[in-house]
Chain A
Amino acid sequence: MRNTFSEALYQAASANPDVYIVVADISPVGSMEKFSKQYPERFINVGVAEQSMIGICAGLALKGCQPFAYTIATFALYRPFEMVRDDLCYQNLPVTVVGMGAGIIYSTLGGTHHTQEDIAIAGAIPNMQIIAPCDPAECTQATRYCAAQKKGPIYLRIGKAGEPNYTDKAIDPWVFGKLRYIKRGSDVCILSYGVIMQKAMQLAARFEATGKSVSVVSCHTLKPLDIDGIADALARHKHVVVIEEHAPQGGLAPRTKQIAWDTRATCRLDTFTLQDAFIHNYGSHDDLLSAHGIDMAQMSQRVGLA
């Protein structure tokens, strides 16, 4: 996903001389190398200085530029939090903060490199918009959107490398702020976002194996959330499942429950999130998700498939 991001950004920078990227000693390979060679004055590496990364982006945007800040998610959002809040959100500047390797993708690096609560934190700040593409193809669309929009700051939560595409045959196009049906069914609806979409696709297959008709939806825009779209999904399906790689508070799951309450939804609603706990065990990304109840065996049982 990070390589499709850098390719999309390179293209945006080629078309618009106001596009900058400010990185904090972390940079995707491939196209970013092309970017830095071709536009060295617009590729700025601040080193290990994330507060300055955000402040410099703010200064560029105050002069009308379209900057991206880029590093591992926890250092992009948590370390320079007050700069994100004051410099970007309070001043409402069109800066994209790219949180790479978000969630618990950096599974063996420990809790210092995990972002389990980033949607909650970014979403709590007025003016902040949040996009979390589910695959490289959506990442390209999202990056193009971020490079062109002037509305305000965006937290772009992306994965790392090697993710497959799920949206090649999606029913809907990618539209900022709208739910995107990857497949449309009538019995069960699975809402998800980000790289954990893989689990949504797998769970959908299990439902389908039992003869159920299943919708899978990419909720790529977490803020502003497509409330009408969620309400519609709750109304049109007998069973809705939310899967997210995020703490139980402040993400898609509690928002969906809130909308369900507000709209007096009558469907069954199951939510899978990370727990409200730091992770001290190691292993693969899947191992860590499993430790917090997100794997096919545990999910199948909870949704009544086992």
Chain B
Amino acid sequence: MNKVVRLNSFDVKAANTRCLRYRRRILDISQQVGALHIGSAYSCTEIVDCMYHGLMRRGLDGTSPDTFLMSKGHGCMIQYVILEEHGVLGRQDLDRYCKPDGRLGVHPDYGNPGIEASTGSLGHGLSMTVGMALAERGRKTDGIIYVVLSDGEVQEGSTWEAVMMASSLGCSNIVAAVDNNDFQSLGRTSETHPSFYPLAEKFAAFGWETAETDGHDSAAIFAAISSRSGRKPFMLCAKTTKGKGVSYMENVPIWHYRSPNKQEYQQATVELERMAV
């Protein structure tokens, strides 16, 4: 590891430009396949971008002492396009997404460049994060483990086992975010499972430091996480919109999974451009 750069500021304009570029790239890839969880990726675009570009330290050789884990594996398309931009994945990898001659599938697979753990089944990521955090501590290294969870997987009992353990073990080197788009396959969480809320208070009750922000406001995400005390595991409850940026996708459950047709693609392209203005 060579010189590590810690950013004290975060260029929000650049972040917005990147996020538009990522959404466009994901939209283009959607035309190669029948399904790719586009709504889930758009939901956490700003969160993942902020972690990679505002929070994780990066040496001049491109490596980082920090780790990123996509616990909501189905949203990994945003991670893939960021890794592509970093040169960790090749353009060919994305072109061959879900193809017989490719190596990238709908969920992240450990062993692929830039992928630190296999996820896809929900409720696994946070326990693995705790294990990674303990390993960093055991070796007296200062790596931070960044992890993005879906709100759906916060329903898994295993997530709460990990929530309890992270704070009981004092894993202050964990920075987590819940992509709280309030949607799961069968509807709005606030309607189907009202006692899911309030959310941040639940993590706080288990000994985490928490913050709540608009999950599409890059400046707010950066400010919330970078002002954490570092004394406890940290959870950002980020209010998001599933399918953010494309009107017909926003808050419509079918876009959890399916790809737009040609006409829908055109409309999405226009709307994403408008989002940038």
Residues of A near any B CB (own CB < 8 A): 17-18, 20, 41-42, 44, 46-47, 49, 51-52, 54-65, 67, 82-83, 86-87, 90-91
Contact = CB atoms under 8 A, between A and B. Distances in A.
Contacts of B158: 51-52, 55, 83
A91 B110 contact: yes
Given A49-B165, A55-B126, A83-B124, 11 more contacts: A18-B138, A52-B130, A52-B162, A55-B162, A57-B131, A59-B128, A59-B130, A62-B110, A62-B135, A63-B135, A87-B118
B131 A41 contact: no
Contacts of B123: 51
B121 A58 contact: no
A48 to B, nearest CB: 9
Nearest to A24: B161
A82 B121 contact: yes
B124 A60 contact: no
A253 B130 CA distance: 40
A46 B124 contact: no
B135 A54 contact: no
B164 A60 contact: no
14 contacts: A17-B138, A20-B134, A20-B138, A41-B138, A49-B164, A52-B130, A52-B165, A55-B162, A58-B124, A61-B131, A62-B132, A63-B132, A82-B124, A86-B121
Contacts, number: 101
Nearest to A65: B135
B136 A63 contact: yes
B54 to A, nearest CB: 24
A55 B138 contact: no
Contacts of B132: 59-60, 62-63
A56 B165 contact: yes
User: Which of A47, A55, A58 has the largest number of chain B CB atoms within 10 A?
Assistant: A55
B254 interface: no
B41 interface: no
B269 interface: no
B138 A44 contact: no
Given A49-B161, A51-B127, A56 B134 contact: yes
Q: Main SS of the interface on chain B? A: helix
B194 interface: no
B137 interface: yes
Contacts of A87: 117-118, 124, 127-128
Contacts of A82: 121, 124
A63 B145 CA distance: 11
Contacts of A46: 161, 165
Contacts of B162: 52, 55-56
A-B complex: 6 closest residue pairs judged by Cβ atoms:
A59-B131, A55-B127, A63-B135, A52-B161, A49-B161, A59-B128
A97 B84 CA distance: 36
A13 to B, nearest CB: 12
A51 B135 contact: no
Given A46-B165, A63-B136, A65-B135, A56 B130 contact: yes
Nearest to B116: A62
Given A90-B118, A91-B110, A62 B161 contact: no
B129 interface: yes
A51 B128 CA distance: 10
Given A63-B135, A65-B135, A44 B169 contact: yes
A54 B110 contact: no
A65 B161 contact: no
A54 to B, nearest CB: 7
B231 to A, nearest CB: 18
A51 B136 contact: no
Contacts of A60: 131-132, 134-135
A76 to B, nearest CB: 15
